[in-house]
Amino acid sequence: MRAAIMQPYFFPYAGYYRLLAAADVFVIYDCVQFPRRGWVHRNQLPRVNGEPGWLTLPVEKAAYDAAIRDVELKTDAADLMRQRAAAFPDLDHALRHRSTHPAASAFLNTRPALTDYLELTLRVAARRLGFHPQILRSSALDIPARLKAQDRILAILEALGANAYVNAPGGRSLYDPQAFSARGIRLEFLPDYTGPRTSMLHRLLMEESESLRAEILGDCRLAEAA
């Protein structure tokens, strides 16, 4: 059984979804610290002039060391997101005229917990792309808090009974292949992604899902760690 583990992001770029295409189980890694300036709660979409601009989810102030699972959206998040979407013409047009499009509906379907919202948008995008791994959260696995980094990943994989771990290419510098091999787990990596880095929210609204699926699958060749 092949598993992938990754932080949840706000409609990430197409390369992220290769993990859902390649894995039998995808674990939302929400038991780690919430990054203030990362891509968990924000992404870039084209503005009026075509240049990318930041679209940020309205989150409540949280403790510095808060985990992703502990972060919440503001109570008026949907209204604030409509206001912020006005700076991005394609998204604004979709919300006004294509509100039943699954990606547009998911964008405004806010939940109190940030992880709930990100899981919803992840599932909607994966379904549109035709990827159907089992999706669960690391916070539901009761992994001991003392375990960090590689040891935490290994504990998650063992809790799942996984015998293969598919990882983004950046993981090559993070993991020791021998440590995985000693646990009977095959460590695999996706190649560098060569496609656009545009948010999947924008691409689902503007492109056919079939072409996006073909693009993702065409750049999904797995290589085993040496």
170: pLDDT confidence band, cut at 50, 70 and 90? confident
- Partnered with residue 107 across adjacent β-strands are none
Q: CA–CA separation, 195 vs 121, rounded Å?
A: 21
| Span 58-99, pLDDT tens digits | 999 999 999 999 999 999 999 999 999 999 999 999 999 998
Mean pLDDT throughout 41-68?
Answer: 96
User: Which pair of tokens denotes residue 184?
Assistant: 């009977």
pLDDT recorded at residue 226: 53
In three-state secondary structure terms, 30 is coil
Using the predicted structure, report yes or no on whether residue 53 has a pLDDT greater than 80.
Answer: yes
Using the predicted structure, report yes or no on whether residue 223 has a pLDDT greater than 80.
Answer: no
Pair 62, 171: CB distance under 8 Å: no
| Span 208-222, pLDDT tens digits | 999 999 999 988 877
pTM given for the model:
0.95
For residue 26, report the phi and psi dihedrals to the nearest 5 degrees.
-115, 125
Mean pLDDT throughout 133-161?
Answer: 96
Q: Which residues of 73-93 are buried (b: 16+ CB within 10 A; e: fewer)?
A: bbeebeebbeebbeebebbee
pLDDT recorded at residue 221: 79
pLDDT recorded at residue 225: 67
User: Which pair of tokens denotes residue 115?
Assistant: 């992880």
pLDDT recorded at residue 220: 82
Q: What's the whole-number average pLDDT of the chain? A: 95
User: What DSSP line would sit under 77-130, residue for residue?
Assistant: HHHHHHHHHTTSHHHHHHHHH-TTSHHHHHHH---SBHHHHHHHHHHHHHHHHT
Pair 60, 74: CB distance under 8 Å: yes
Mean pLDDT throughout 135-141?
Answer: 97
Sign of CA dihedral 36, 42, 43, 49: negative
Mean pLDDT throughout 191-200?
Answer: 94
pLDDT recorded at residue 222: 75
Q: Which residues of 140-175 are buried (b: 16+ CB within 10 A; e: fewer)?
A: eeebeeeeeeeebbbbbbeebebebbbbbeebeeeb
